[in-house]
């Protein structure tokens, strides 16, 4: 370690810079605490865990952010140079490095495991057998949805049957496909698990339901499943926005739809009958 000379001094430029950092800290804290721009109100059961992990990461990184920036501001304001003094410095400090490395590793490992548990709970847990199953198909630039109809079975599909009016490409020879219902908007049932089977006809899209904390890529050639349970008891709205969260082309900005959460199966059946006509 090289010893410094002199105590350093408070300089106007250092104080101005320190003040700017203070403004940055206060401004950032205000946005995260007052939350003028934030997620829409939660409308699903699993979303609570996602929000908790999000908050935990935000608090940990927020504390680190404030501590590091505040120290930087303080040192800049307090230890300005007058041109003749030398700052003390060192090349390595095994104790400090070990402390910082291990501390960071422990914190990050805990966060990773918290997130991993939530992730596994969503993607690796058995889907409920009674879930409502809906197929979701992304294409430039809209969402299509398919319900299996009264027989409960989806008709076979093949890309060669895809046309301008038949996005899914249902095989006309398959009797199971005759009663399938294709819709431009979604309806699901409150408190009943819903399983989405997500596909894409062209490029990668991302099926995004912000109120339900669901975001899943739609990848060409893959059928990706995701399920959750909606809970809209505390919501005022009954239609929720569906967005595409992947820049998928020139019309990406208008790739959206709406999802209605029906109170019961009867309301869903009634809507499906209307859509069938
Ligand atoms: Cu898209």
For residue range 106-133, what is the model confidence (pLDDT) as tens digits?
999 999 999 999 988 888 888 888 899 9
Joined tokens for residue 83: 């041109």
Average pLDDT over residues 69-75: 95
pLDDT value for 30: 94
The span from the CA of 141 to the CA of 70, in Å, is 46
Question: pTM for the complete prediction?
Answer: 0.82
**Residues pairing with 146 in the sheet:** 135, 182
pLDDT band at 277 (very low <50, low <70, confident <90, very high): low
Instruction: State pLDDT tens for residues 129-187.
Output: 889 999 999 999 999 999 998 888 888 888 888 888 888 888 888 888 888 899 999 99
pLDDT value for 160: 86
Ligand 1 centroid to Cα of residue 186, in Å, is 16
Neighbours of 154 (CB within 10 A): 20
Ligand 1 centroid to Cα of residue 249, in Å, is 7
Ligand 1 centroid to Cα of residue 256, in Å, is 8
pLDDT value for 2: 67
Ligand 1 centroid to Cα of residue 255, in Å, is 6
**Which residues hold their Cβ within 5 A of ligand 1, which is an ion?**
205, 244, 248, 255
| DSSP type of residue 157 | B
Ligand 1 centroid to Cα of residue 115, in Å, is 26
Instruction: State pLDDT tens for residues 221-242.
Output: 999 999 999 999 888 887 899 9
Ligand 1 centroid to Cα of residue 211, in Å, is 18
Ligand 1 centroid to Cα of residue 141, in Å, is 6
Ligand 1 centroid to Cα of residue 251, in Å, is 8
Ligand 1 centroid to Cα of residue 198, in Å, is 12
pLDDT value for 50: 92
pLDDT value for 1: 59
Task: Please return the burial class of 159, using the count of CB atoms within 10 Å of its CB with bins 0-12, 13-18 and 19+.
Answer: exposed
Domains of the chain: 12-123 (1.10.287), 132-276 (2.60.40.420)
């Amino acid at each position: 370690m090289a010893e410094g000379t002199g105590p350093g001094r408070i300089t106007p430029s250092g104080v101005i810079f320190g003040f700017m950092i203070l403004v940055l800290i206060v401004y950032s804290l205000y946005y995260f605490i007052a939350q003028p721009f934030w997620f829409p109100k939660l409308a699903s059961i699993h979303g609570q865990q996602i929000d908790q992990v999000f908050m935990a990461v935000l608090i940990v990184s927020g504390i680190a952010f404030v501590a590091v920036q505040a120290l930087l501001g303080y040192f800049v304001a307090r230890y300005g140079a007058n041109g003749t003094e030398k700052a003390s410095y060192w090349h390595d400090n095994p104790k400090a490095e070990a402390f910082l490395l291990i501390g960071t590793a422990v914190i990050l490992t805990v966060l990773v495991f918290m997130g991993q548990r939530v992730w596994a709970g969503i993607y690796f847990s058995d889907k409920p057998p009674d879930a409502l199953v809906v197929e979701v198909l992304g294409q430039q630039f809209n969402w299509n949805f398919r319900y299996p109809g009264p027989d409960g079975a989806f008709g076979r599909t093949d890309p060669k049957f895809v046309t301008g009016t038949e996005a899914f490409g249902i095989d006309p020879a398959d009797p199971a496909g005759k009663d399938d219902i294709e819709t431009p908007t979604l309806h699901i049932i409150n408190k009943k698990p819903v399983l989405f089977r997500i596909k894409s006809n062209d490029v990668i899209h991302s099926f995004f339901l912000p109120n339900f904390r669901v975001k899943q890529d739609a990848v060409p050639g893959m059928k990706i499943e995701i399920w959750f349970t909606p809970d809209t008891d505390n919501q005022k709205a009954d239609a929720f926005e569906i967005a595409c969260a992947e820049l998928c082309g020139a019309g990406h900005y208008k790739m959206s739809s709406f999802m209605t959460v029906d109170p019961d199966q009867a309301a869903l059946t009634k809507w499906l009958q209307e859509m069938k006509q």
